[in-house]
Amino acid sequence: MSHGDEAGRAAERVARESYGRLVAFLAARTRDVAGAEDALGEAFAAALRLWPADGVPDNPDAWLLTVARRRQTDAIRRRQTRTAGEEHLTLIADEIAAASEEGATLPDRRLALMFACAHPAIERGLRAPLILQTILGMTAEDISAAFLVPPATMGQRLVRAKTRIRDAGIPFRIPDKEELGERMQAVLDAIYAAYAKGWNEVGQQGVPEIAGEALWLGRLVVSLMPTEPEPKGMLALMYYAESRRAARRAANGAYVPLEEQDTSLWDDSQIRLAEQLLHEANAGGPTGRYQLEAAIQSAHTGRRLSGAANWPIVVQLYDHLYALTRSPVVILNRAVALAEVDGPAAALAALAPLAQDRRMQGYQPYWAARGHLLARTGATAEAREAFTVALGLTTDDAVTAYLNGQMARLSSH
């Protein structure tokens, strides 16, 4: 990457930071997210175009506001009407002027906006797209590519969700203590869902970008809630995953499962970031879902030092995680770890409850894990059937190559 690209990206970051803060500030006042986006949209587009080439202005917020107000004035002149947007922009400009006189910055309402986007009244699957759009200014088109939804459909859904925020009177505030745990979980789940989209589809054009955006959001929530342990747990989990990016693909492009990864390819600096965050999270309070998942990943990194993963600890951590989440995916992952402690037959027995679970029947990792365990018990025909289903469920060429390799190994035995 050239320096020019890096400078361009840095300028884009500043533009998105500023845009997100201004949208959040306006929307928190008016509860009108779409209105806030409309008022600032053209100015933001201009910033994305101009700043990478001309450099970032001294006061990005003021620049965006000035341009936004000028565009609004032009629009009003053309249409001879007054819009609410203009009043909002005037209001916010006055506050910025007042703040800069006092040497202060505009209050950051992005956390409150994230809580509004991940409110229980907003459909779960839309929370991540909504946060990506309102906080980072991502377009419906870019978001739709990651979420496998046609762009127009994603656009309509986002518009509806914003209308709902306004009409349902969803508050723009940090929830009270008794509510905070659950509501924060929803915000973190949305951000992590965005990360997982980018993670699963690594290698597809245009998609990996979203993992980077999710990491940014992860750092943002940690900075906005510095005393809460769970955001740190989530960010740690993301960094553990990031640290293994280079080890996830073999030379031929095939997917490499964690147990078989070359640990010398793991990225030390990211592991250190993750360990530090996990340490802070553990010191900071009760153990939540993301802290536990990060702790499991931490146990895996032990393999880099000692050569052997601490599987009994991993199984125990999955037990705690299951008690907390009751998730079938946790049963699956626990069974895979259990195979390393008590053998594949015990692991298959632990998987048995999932055979009735319809969600798992369409879940590629379930069939891949089943095939792997069956192969190890010598049940070749059943293993072949499971790998076949796993192949039919994947869209990832790397996973296809891995599963075909597993099938070929079955034949040679």
Partner 1 sequence: MQFLLLINGDESRFNTEPQGETPVSPEFVAYTEAMKKAGVWIGGDRLKPTRHGARVRVRDGKAVVLDGPYADAKEQLGGYYMIDVPSLDEAVEWATRCPAARYGTIDVRPLADISR
Cα–Cα dist 77/65, whole Å: 18
**DSSP state at residue 255:** B
- Asked if 253 touches partner 1 (CB under 8 A), the answer is no
Residues 88-127: x where in contact with partner 1 by CB under 8 A, - otherwise, as a string: -------------------------------------x--
* Residues present in the chain in total: 413
**Footprint on residues 147-186 left by partner 1 (CB under 8 A):** 148-150, 153
CB distance 304 to 263 below 8 Å: yes
Choices 103-111, 135-143, 223-231, 393-401 (CB under 8 A): range interacting with partner 1: 393-401
CA 321 to chain centre: 20
CB distance 138 to 15 below 8 Å: no
Cα–Cα dist 39/48, whole Å: 16
SS3 category, 249: strand
Selected from 34, 393, 401, 410, the binder of partner 1 by CB under 8 A is 393
Residues 121-140: x where in contact with partner 1 by CB under 8 A, - otherwise, as a string: ----x---------------
* One-letter amino acid for residue 29 of the chain: R
Nearest to 88 by CA among 33, 44, 134: 33
Beta carbon of residue 401, minimum distance to partner 1 (angstroms, whole number): 13
Beta carbon of residue 31, minimum distance to partner 1 (angstroms, whole number): 28
**Footprint on residues 55-94 left by partner 1 (CB under 8 A):** none
Task: Using the minimum distance from each CB to partner 1, give the nearer residue, 100 or 388.
Answer: 388
SS3 category, 226: coil
How far apart are the two ends of the chain, measured CA to CA in Å?
Answer: 46
Task: Using the minimum distance from each CB to partner 1, give the nearer residue, 125 or 285.
Answer: 125
- Asked if 395 touches partner 1 (CB under 8 A), the answer is yes
**Footprint on residues 349-388 left by partner 1 (CB under 8 A):** 358, 361-362, 367, 385, 388
Beta carbon of residue 392, minimum distance to partner 1 (angstroms, whole number): 3
Distances (CA, A) of 30 to 38, 84, 87, 118, 240: 13, 10, 11, 18, 39
Phi, psi torsion values for 300, nearest 5 degrees:
-65, -35
Task: Using the minimum distance from each CB to partner 1, give the nearer residue, 149 or 174.
Answer: 149
Count of residues touching partner 1 (by CB under 8 A): 18
SS3 category, 196: helix
Cα atoms in the 13 Å half-sphere on the side-chain side of 406: 31
Task: Using the minimum distance from each CB to partner 1, give the nearer residue, 62 or 393.
Answer: 393
Selected from 12, 209, 394, 401, the binder of partner 1 by CB under 8 A is 394
Task: Using the minimum distance from each CB to partner 1, give the nearer residue, 54 or 397.
Answer: 397
Task: Using the minimum distance from each CB to partner 1, give the nearer residue, 92 or 391.
Answer: 391
Beta carbon of residue 149, minimum distance to partner 1 (angstroms, whole number): 6
CB distance 146 to 133 below 8 Å: no
Beta carbon of residue 56, minimum distance to partner 1 (angstroms, whole number): 39
* One-letter amino acid for residue 21 of the chain: R
Binding residues for partner 1 (CB under 8 A): 125, 148-150, 153, 358, 361-362, 367, 385, 388-395
